[in-house]
Amino acid sequence: MTPIGIFDSGYGGLTILKEIRKELPQYDYLYLGDNARAPYGTRSFDVVYEFTLQAVKKLFSAGCRLVILACNTASAKALRSIQQNDLPQIDPSRRVLGVVIPTVEALGEISKTGNIGVLGTPGTISSGTYDIEIAKFFPRFRTVSQACPMWVPLVENREYDGDGADYFVEKYVEALFAEEPETDTIVLGCTHYPLLLQKIERQVAGRATVVTQGGLVAKSLADYLHRHPELEARCSKGGAVNYLTTENPEKFTEMASIFMEQPVRASRTDL
Q: Does 39 bind ligand DGL (CB under 6 A)?
A: yes
Residue 32: strand pairing partners: 7, 244
Q: Does 71 bind ligand DGL (CB under 6 A)?
A: yes
Radius of gyration of the chain (CA): 18
**Is the Cβ of residue 26 or residue 248 nearer to ligand DGL in the bound state?**
248
**Is the Cβ of residue 3 or residue 39 nearer to ligand DGL in the bound state?**
39
Pick one of 41, 102, 214, 249: the residue that binds ligand DGL (CB under 6 A).
Answer: 41
Q: Does 127 bind ligand DGL (CB under 6 A)?
A: no
Q: Which of 64, 71, 148, 235 is catalytic?
A: 71
- What is the side-by-side order of every strand in the sheet holding 95-97? 95-97, 66-69, 4-8, 29-33, 241-245, 266-268
Whether the CA torsion 34, 256, 220, 63 is positive or negative: it is: positive
- 103/133 Cα distance (integer angstroms): 10
Pick one of 5, 29, 53, 73: the residue that binds ligand DGL (CB under 6 A).
Answer: 73
CB count in 10 Å sphere of residue 8: 30
**Binding pattern to ligand DGL, positions 169-198, x when CB under 6 A?**
---------------------xxx------
Which residue of this chain has its Cβ atom nearest to ligand DGL in the complex?
A: 41
User: Minimum Å distance from CB 42 to ligand DGL?
Assistant: 7
Q: Does 49 bind ligand DGL (CB under 6 A)?
A: no
Residue 180: CA count within 13 A, CB half-sphere: 20
Phi and psi at 175, nearest 5°, equal -65, -35
Give how far the C-alpha of residue 27 lies from the chain's centroid of Cα atoms, to the nearest Å.
19
Q: Does 203 bind ligand DGL (CB under 6 A)?
A: no
Q: Does 40 bind ligand DGL (CB under 6 A)?
A: yes
User: Minimum Å distance from CB 181 to ligand DGL?
Assistant: 26
Restricted to residues 152-171, the positions that interact with ligand DGL (CB under 6 A) are: 152
Q: Is 71 a catalytic residue?
A: yes
Q: Does 100 bind ligand DGL (CB under 6 A)?
A: no
- Tallying the residues shown for the chain, one arrives at 271
- Taking CB under 6 A as the binding criterion, the range among 56-64, 65-73, 139-147, 240-248 that sits at the site for ligand DGL is 65-73
Q: What is the 3-state secondary structure (H, E, C) of 67-115?
A: EEECCHHHHHHCHHHHHHHHHHHHCCCCEEECCHHHHHHHHHHHCCCCE
* Angle, CA of 72, 102 and 199, to the nearest 5°: 60
Active site residues per annotation: 71, 190
Binding-site ranges for ligand DGL (CB under 6 A): 8-10, 12, 38-41, 71-73, 121, 124, 152, 190-192
